[in-house]
Amino acid sequence: MSTPIHRTSTRQSAPFLASARHREGGSRTGSTSARPLERALLEMQSRAGNRATTAAVQRLRDTGTGHAEANGDASPAAKRENYRDRIAALLDRFKKNLEPIDTFIKGFQTPTNAAFAQQGAVAANEGLKHSAAASGTSAASGNLLTEAAGTVVNGMDAYKSRKDAKEHETGADHHKAMKKAKTKGADTVVGAANSGSYSAAIAKEVTKIQKAADAAVASEASGIASASIGAVKAMRSAFRIGGAANKYQQIKKLGDPHLVQAGSLARLNESHEQAGWAAAEAYVALDAYWKHEGPERLELVSEAIDAAWEAMGEARDVAENLQHAENDVEKLSKVQQYAKKKQLTKIGKETAGGGGESVKAAAGVVTAVAAGTVGLASNPVGWGLAGAGAGLVLGVTMYKALRAATKRYEEVHHPERWAPQGETLAEAASRKESLKHAMKFWKKVSKGERQAMAREIYALAAGPDISGNTTAEMRASARSLLIALKSGPAKHKLEPDAWAETLNDPAKSSGWIAEIAEQLASG
């Protein structure tokens, strides 16, 4: 949790007030039915969520004050664009500050609330039931705040990406922007629906606190909304699994580069042997001319030296080409294995995440079915489903967070590991500074393994003006890998020749590398 801050608002949140009112009511009536430890845990959850959310808002406010300068003589359109980008950046930072709180709520607070509510219902403990409902209101409010912020950010990203796609009508930049626009657009729709689901969950918990007559209706509506959102997310995960599996199969069909390039390597090896024999024969001839007697001796020796020098140069060039081709085969084999591993990892993550959403959907169904009696909170089956679903989703979230933190750590502690060749390396950070950087969960990794692999693929697939000594066969294999990664001519809305020209354009290199890195990570 974040450190205590002193500029907190004097206004208390609704969940806290509701909990406070309940405590006051309980003391007036002299009720002591709720266990002190359970009540304390639920109150601590509510207070912790309120304090952490307030801290996130104040950090965002502090960050925003550093960008309050005017835009100078920029045009009105440029100012609007700049304001839009700044607002999107601030909202994105706000959302990422809330994500650890949201993870805690989904993985711990919500299942714990369900457990206490179920226990309170079984024991007919009204005090415990009401405390759990107050904590549940706080949890759903935190979820709603995070989801709403993410929905706005995704909507702005979708709008900007679609605008970028129109600006770049073809090529890697167009495909990358259009893909992002579709993904963020879908995220916006799902986020809006999920925000509605959290609103229904808040209403359900509030009716429990107030002992309203329509509590069953609110519980049923919340269950239906939760089940629907879970089903949509599970279906989306299924589509992503299908896309990743298809991409994996397409990469696998390319075959082992060592076997595919065996003929090309054999021809280069044969040329190397022939060049070696030619060089040896040239030196034998030179030795014979040295022993020749006669007036033309010097002329013959001079010609023999030129021939030997030329043969040695040819042999050296062929040897370099062979070595370069062998290195390229190793590189292509490495990047293909990496691409397949990324797709398998994505399948695993989406399977676990989609499974968690499916279980949560089932829990929502149980909520809706049992709404006429005591709902999810008092149904052990529903409680178990909710806990299992939350556990799966939390596991995937923690895995992603740990992987990202490890990559951020390596990025600054071992800058030489994945840095571009020829780039001036930054000084390696200390272990302490690297750990601090790893904890900056709002920052993306810019120099990691995926970016390095993207550069390797581009170097193999690029045109002769960029790739240098890469053989035509190797270049064709690397471009087949690009097509398998869904970065082919059709995806870029280009004819094959025009698509190949973009690979030979140094001005488009950075766009290509970013496109390949994106396609390695997506299904």
149, 9: one domain: yes
| pLDDT of amino acid 15 | 39
Q: Which range is most confident: 15-24, 193-202, 288-297? A: 193-202
Is the pLDDT at 107 greater than 80? The verdict is no
| pLDDT of amino acid 491 | 92
159, 253: one domain: no
Q: How many domains does the chain have?
A: 3
What are the E-state strand segments in 184-273?
A: none
Domain that holds residue 240: 224-373
| Residue 108 DSSP symbol | I
Per the domain annotation, does 416 fall within a domain?
Answer: no
**The dihedral sign for the CA sequence 503, 508, 509, 513:** negative
Where does 468-508 have alpha helices with state H?
472-484, 496-503
| pLDDT of amino acid 68 | 41
Question: Which H/E stretch holds residue 235?
Answer: helix 215-253
200, 228: one domain: no
pLDDT band at 14 (very low <50, low <70, confident <90, very high): very low
Per the domain annotation, does 403 fall within a domain?
Answer: no
Q: Between 391 and 59, where is the model more confident?
A: 391
What percent of the chain is predicted at pLDDT more than 90? Answer: 23
Is the pLDDT at 113 greater than 60? The verdict is yes
Mean pLDDT for 404-424 is 84
Q: Which range is most confident: 323-337, 348-362, 408-422, 435-449? A: 323-337
Going by C-beta distance under 8 Å and a sequence separation of 6 or more, which residues neighbour residue 104?
49
201's tokens: 């969950």
Q: Which of 318, 323, 328 is nearest to 273 (CA)?
A: 318
Per the domain annotation, does 130 fall within a domain?
Answer: yes
- Given 341, 373, 405, the domain boundary residue is 373
258, 229: one domain: yes
Count of other CB atoms within 10 angstroms of residue 175: 24
In the chain, % helix, strand, coil (3-state, to 5) comes to 80, 0, 20
Do 185 and 156 meet the contact criterion of CB atoms below 8 Å apart? no
Query: What is the amino acid identity at position 519?
Result: Q
| Residue indicated by tokens 């004050």 | 65
Count of other CB atoms within 10 angstroms of residue 173: 21
Query: Residue 356 sits in a domain of what CATH number?
Result: 1.10.287
338, 296: one domain: yes
What are the E-state strand segments in 66-167?
A: none
- Given 212, 244, 266, the domain boundary residue is 212
237, 121: one domain: no
251, 339: one domain: yes
| pLDDT of amino acid 257 | 93
Length of the chain: 523
Interior angle at CA 29, CA 23 and CA 31, nearest 5: 70
Do 140 and 48 meet the contact criterion of CB atoms below 8 Å apart? no
Q: Which of 365, 393, 358 is nearest to 381 (CA)?
A: 365
pLDDT digits over 464-476, tens only?
A: 888 878 888 999 9
Please compute, for residue 116, the number of CA atoms within 13 A of its CA located in the half-sphere on the CB side: 28
Q: Which of 363, 383, 379, 368 is nearest to 113 (CA)?
A: 383
Do 207 and 341 meet the contact criterion of CB atoms below 8 Å apart? no
87, 171: one domain: yes
Mean pLDDT for 80-103 is 76
501's tokens: 């020209």
Do 412 and 431 meet the contact criterion of CB atoms below 8 Å apart? no
Is the pLDDT at 67 greater than 90? The verdict is no
Average pLDDT, the chain: 77
Where does 254-370 have alpha helices with state H?
257-260, 262-290, 297-369
**The dihedral sign for the CA sequence 5, 84, 408, 437:** negative
pLDDT digits over 361-393, tens only?
A: 666 666 655 554 444 444 555 556 666 666 777
200, 253: one domain: no
Mean pLDDT for 323-342 is 94
Q: Is 427 exposed, middle or buried (0-12, 13-18, 19+ CB in 10 A)?
A: exposed
Please compute, for residue 39, the number of CA atoms within 13 A of its CA located in the half-sphere on the CB side: 16
| pLDDT of amino acid 465 | 86
Three-state SS string over 365-432 comes to: HHHHHHHHCCCHHHCHHHHHHHHHHHHHHHHHHHHHHHHHHHHHHHHHHCCCCCCCCCCCCCCCCCHH
pLDDT band at 17 (very low <50, low <70, confident <90, very high): very low
| Residue indicated by tokens 């104040």 | 58
- Given 373, 389, 414, the domain boundary residue is 373
| pLDDT of amino acid 22 | 40
| Residue 439 DSSP symbol | T
pLDDT band at 230 (very low <50, low <70, confident <90, very high): confident
Per the domain annotation, does 382 fall within a domain?
Answer: no
Per the domain annotation, does 164 fall within a domain?
Answer: yes
150, 234: one domain: no
13, 160: one domain: yes
Do 293 and 350 meet the contact criterion of CB atoms below 8 Å apart? no
205, 240: one domain: no
